[in-house]
Amino acid sequence: MASRPTSDPTRTFRGSIDATRASLSGRGSGRPHPLLSMERPSHPDYEVHKRTLHQELLDSLDFEEVGNVPKEKLRVRLQNDLTERLERRTLPLNRLERDRMVQEILDNVLGLGPLEPLLADPAVSDILVNGPHQVYVDRGGKLTLTNTRFDDNRHLMQIIDRIVVAVGRRVDEQHPMVDARMADGSRINAIIPPLALDGPVLSIRRFSKKPLTAADLTDRGSVPHPLMLVLKGTVQVGLNTLISGGTGSGKTTLLNVLSGFIPEDERIITIEDSAELRLQQPHVVRLETRPPNLEGRGEVTQRDLVRNSLRMRPDRIILGEVRGTESIDMLTAMNTGHEGSLATIHANNTRDALARLETMVGMGMPNMRTQAIRETVVRAIDLLIQQTRFPDGSRRITSITEVVGLEGETLLTQDIFVFEQTGVDERGKVRGVFRATGVRPHFADRLATHGIHLSDRLFSFRMEV
C-alpha cells in the first residue's frame, strides 16, 4: 500500500479534472444527486466517524493504480469498499445515515465534496461559499442559506484547489484571486486569505444547458409579447442597443435572446470576459479576453479584441459588457457602419447608463470635450433597455428608451415603454403594469422602411402583471 501524501492525493487521479468538469456542467448519470433528498444526520459523532472512514480509505489506496481505473468503475469500487468498512463497524447510525456517509466520502474523493448536491440541482444558478460554514444558493432569483458545510478552511481550500487545477490555474498566497471559466461555461471566482479575512470565498455562476428563448421571457412575465415583437424589429433593422441593469438582473439573458433575432446571413463577432453567450446562428465568431500569466504577461483586453474585430469584417459586434476604455472603440464601430451592435452595461437606469458610458470614454480620452463625447454617444446608441431584478426574484424590462439627440450639451431621451410596480401580493410577488408612454418613437419610420409596421394601438398598450 502506498503511503498518503501530505497534499490532497485525489488531485493525482487521472480522471479528476474530467470529473470536476463533469460535475460543474451537470453531466453524469442524469439522476438527482442522492443527498438532495437526505436530511443531515443529527448524530453528534457522525462527522467524527466520517472523517475516520475517509482517512482509512485514502490510506488504503494506491494512487498510481487507481489513476488507471475508469471513473465510473472506480466509483463503484470505492462505494463497495466504503460500504464493507461500515458494515464491519458497530456504529450507532441508521441505514440512511450510512448511505449518506458513503455518498459524502465519494463526493470528497471523486468530486467537489459538499458542492456536489448543489451542482446536481438544475434550479441552482449561483453557489456562493462564504467560508466553510456558510453556503448560499440562488434559486429563481432568491438567495437561500443552505445546510451545506465544509469541515474547515483546509477542506474548502482542497475543493477550490481541485477546481482551479482543472482549468490550469493556481491559487495561493502569492496569487490569492482567480477568475476562470470552466469547460461548460460556468464562471468560477475564488479569493482566499489574506485578502478574504474570514476564510476562503468561492463563487460559482452556472448557466442553463438550454438557453432561454423569447417565448420563455414572455411566459415568465419579463416582457410582454408586443414589446418583444418591437425589440425583434429593432434588432432586425440594425438599431445599436445598450442593455443596462444591476448584477443578476438578467442583462446577459436578454442579450442572448435579442441576438437570436439577428438574420442568419450576417457575420457576428462576440467579445466577452467570460464566454456566456450561446448564439444559434451559423456564422458566429466567439472571442474571449485573457488574463495575464503568472509573470504578468500575455493579457488580452476587451479593447484589444474590439479593435481586432474591426479587421475581421463583422456585420454585428456583440460586447458582453462595456466596462472600460473599450467603449471608445465600440462607439467608433457603431458610428462607422457596424449597425445593429449590442452590448450590456451596469447601471441602475438608462440615464445612469449614458452617464457611465460618457465617463468611460472620458477616462480613455481625457482631452476630449464633453460635447464631443456626447455627440459620439448620440450618433452611436439608438436604443436603451433597462433590466431590473425585483425583491421577489423576478426579472423584468422596466423601460425601453430611445436616444433622440443632443440639445446643447444635454442628451435627449424618451421612454417608449415602462414597467411600474404597483404593489406586492400576499405571496410576496411583485405586481405592476407594463404600459406605453404614448410617444411614437423615431425608429418607427426606420422599421416601416423594412416592412415592419408598428400599430398605433401599440402606443396605448397597457398590461397588468
Does the residue 413 lie in any domain? yes
Q: Do 111 and 82 fall within a single domain? A: yes
Instruction: Tell me what pLDDT residue 386 has.
Output: 98
Q: Do 336 and 194 fall within a single domain? A: no
Beta pairing, strands 187-191 & 201-205: antiparallel
Count CB atoms within 10 A of the CB of residue 193.
14
Q: Do 341 and 415 fall within a single domain? A: yes
Q: Residue 133 class from Cβ within 10 Å (0-12 exposed, 13-18 middle, 19+ buried)?
A: middle
Are 278 and 418 spatial neighbours (Cβ–Cβ below 8 Å)? no
Compute the C-alpha angle 149/154/156, nearest 5°.
40
Inter-axis angle of helices 326-335 and 350-364, nearest 10: 110
Of 344, 403, 410, 342, nearest to 374 by C-alpha is: 410
Beta pairing, strands 201-205 & 124-130: antiparallel
Q: Do 338 and 390 fall within a single domain? A: yes
Q: Do 99 and 140 fall within a single domain? A: yes
Range of the domain at 148: 9-205
Of 304, 330, 327, 328, nearest to 317 by C-alpha is: 330
Are 389 and 250 spatial neighbours (Cβ–Cβ below 8 Å)? yes
CA dihedral angle for residue 240, residue 244, residue 249, residue 253, rounded to 10 degrees: 10
Q: Do 331 and 357 fall within a single domain? A: yes
Q: What is the number of structural domains in the chain?
A: 2
Q: Do 326 and 345 fall within a single domain? A: yes
Q: Do 179 and 96 fall within a single domain? A: yes
Instruction: Tell me what pLDDT residue 115 has.
Output: 92
Instruction: Tell me what pLDDT residue 22 has.
Output: 46
Does the residue 1 lie in any domain? no
In order along its 465 residues, the chain shows pLDDT tens digits of 444 344 444 443 434 444 444 444 444 445 667 776 566 666 677 888 888 888 888 888 776 666 677 878 888 888 888 888 888 887 777 888 888 888 888 888 888 889 988 988 888 999 999 999 999 999 888 899 998 999 899 999 999 998 888 887 889 888 899 888 777 778 899 999 999 998 999 999 987 777 889 999 999 999 999 999 999 999 999 999 999 999 889 999 999 999 999 999 999 999 998 788 888 899 999 999 988 877 778 899 999 999 999 999 999 999 999 989 999 988 988 887 789 999 999 999 999 999 999 999 999 999 999 999 999 999 999 999 999 999 999 999 999 999 999 998 899 999 999 999 999 999 999 999 999 999 999 999 999 999 999 999 999 999 999
Does the residue 252 lie in any domain? yes
Cis preceding linkage at 114, omega within 30: no
Q: What is the CATH number of the domain that holds 400?
A: 3.40.50.300
Chosen domain end from 205, 240, 261: 205
| Cell (9 digits) for 257 | 435572446
Tell me which residue has cell 417608449.
416
Instruction: Tell me what pLDDT residue 85 has.
Output: 87
418 three-class SS: strand
Count CB atoms within 10 A of the CB of residue 408.
8
Q: Do 434 and 394 fall within a single domain? A: yes
Q: Do 321 and 417 fall within a single domain? A: yes
462 three-class SS: strand
